[in-house]
Amino acid sequence: IKKIGVLTSGGDSPGMNAAIRSVVRTCAYHNIECIGIYRGYQGMIEGDFKEMGPRSVNNIVNKGGTILKSARSLEFKTPEGRKKAHENLVNAGIDALVVIGGDGTFTGAELFNNEFGYPVMGIPGTIDNDIYGTSHTLGYDTALNTVVECIDKIRDTASSHNRLFFVEVMGRDAGHIALNAGIGAGAEEILIPEEDLGLERLLESLQKSKASGKSSSIVVVSEGDKIGKNVFELKEYVEEHMPEYDVRVSVLGHMQRGGSPSCFDRVLASRLGVKAVESILEGKSNYMVGLIQDKVALTPLEQAIKGSSKIDEELLRVSDIMTT
């Protein structure tokens, strides 16, 4: 292995830049050339490559987003697109690939590896933390801190006006962001896709909390929650059944994906980048590097894609007790 390519793909997340920096510098440390591939798989198909040295990643450890840009590439889903991408890599003398992204990115990488026997290594980058084989994905910790900060601010208004707020947070089909940020911000109720609270129990719980003397409430709702109503319908439903409540909705949206990465995400990105490059140099391929019980560890890409990241039962219990 003389030359390694690195790309970011799918949704961006804070910490991706720190991971790029780590891959580039680990390559330099081992006297390997590193090539940045712009706009994910689309840039691979178009040959949008740039040589990167340790100084080309100065001052990015603290930056959100990704300097290599990200893209969703439909062309890479076709055999012709992948063939073109493979030719470009071979022509540029790139021997292996580090891909930073989520599920879809790994699915593409695994397919590419199966088709061409091309060495690939994945780094999980998504705020949703919905990937098997790592306790934390890059950007998740930063997103949690962003969400907690926002909810703290919303609470100021909620308590000043005796209001009930439904705060919708990201997470796709996983409730990790909602559950953790909900506990961290002291939410009265947390609605996540993994647990169906049901509308009646939600009402009961709100009524109980009102009766116990609480004058304001924050309910954190995961975007993938299966209660059967979106946050705006939830607001109408609760207003209809509890007219004494003044209900507001806040959808946090894309601010959750941006911002300067937390120290945790920067350190994680640095560790995963080192492990990804060094694993390739040891001849390994088709794995994702992740964090398991605080240690950097490899999981076969196939398992990372197929497995699901479970919600921690202990955390659910803690949440139940905290919302009493």
For the annotated binding site for ADP, the residues are: 21-25, 155, 186-188, 214-216
CB of 233 to ligand ATP, least distance (A): 26
**What radius of gyration do the chain's Cα atoms show?**
22
283: nearest Cα among 155, 117, 131: 117
Does 66 help bind ligand ATP (rule: CB under 6 A)?
Answer: no
* Residue list 222-241, contact with ligand ATP (CB under 6 A): none
Catalytic residue among 12, 128, 130, 141: 128
Does 73 help bind ligand ATP (rule: CB under 6 A)?
Answer: yes
Contact 95, 119 (CB under 8 A): yes
Three-state DSSP state, 291: strand
> Rounded to an integer, what distance in angstroms lies between the CA atom of residue 264 and that of residue 304?
22
Nearest residue (beta carbon) to ligand ATP: 104
- DSSP track, 264-275: HHHHHHHHHHHH
Does 10 help bind ligand ATP (rule: CB under 6 A)?
Answer: yes
Does 260 help bind ligand ATP (rule: CB under 6 A)?
Answer: no
Give the interface segment with ligand ATP, choosing from 4-12, 214-222, 280-288, 293-301 (CB under 6 A): 4-12
Does 105 help bind ligand ATP (rule: CB under 6 A)?
Answer: yes
Total interface residues for ligand ATP by CB under 6 A: 17
Does 72 help bind ligand ATP (rule: CB under 6 A)?
Answer: yes
> Rounded to an integer, what distance in angstroms lies between the CA atom of residue 163 and that of residue 46?
53
* Residue list 18-47, contact with ligand ATP (CB under 6 A): 41
- Residue 271: Cβ-neighbour burial (10 angstroms; 0-12, 13-18, 19+): middle
Secondary structure letter of residue 125 according to DSSP? B
CB of 217 to ligand ATP, least distance (A): 31
Let me know if 128 is a catalytic residue. Answer: yes
Does 256 help bind ligand ATP (rule: CB under 6 A)?
Answer: no
| Helix, strand, coil share (%) of the chain residues, nearest 5 | 45, 20, 35
Does 287 help bind ligand ATP (rule: CB under 6 A)?
Answer: no
CB nearer to ligand ATP: give 9 or 180.
9
150: nearest Cα among 126, 177, 128, 130: 177
- Residue 80: Cβ-neighbour burial (10 angstroms; 0-12, 13-18, 19+): exposed
Does 132 help bind ligand ATP (rule: CB under 6 A)?
Answer: no
Does 11 help bind ligand ATP (rule: CB under 6 A)?
Answer: yes
Q: Give catalytic residue positions.
A: 128
**Contact positions toward ligand ATP, by CB under 6 A?**
9-11, 41, 72-73, 76-77, 101-105, 107-108, 111, 126
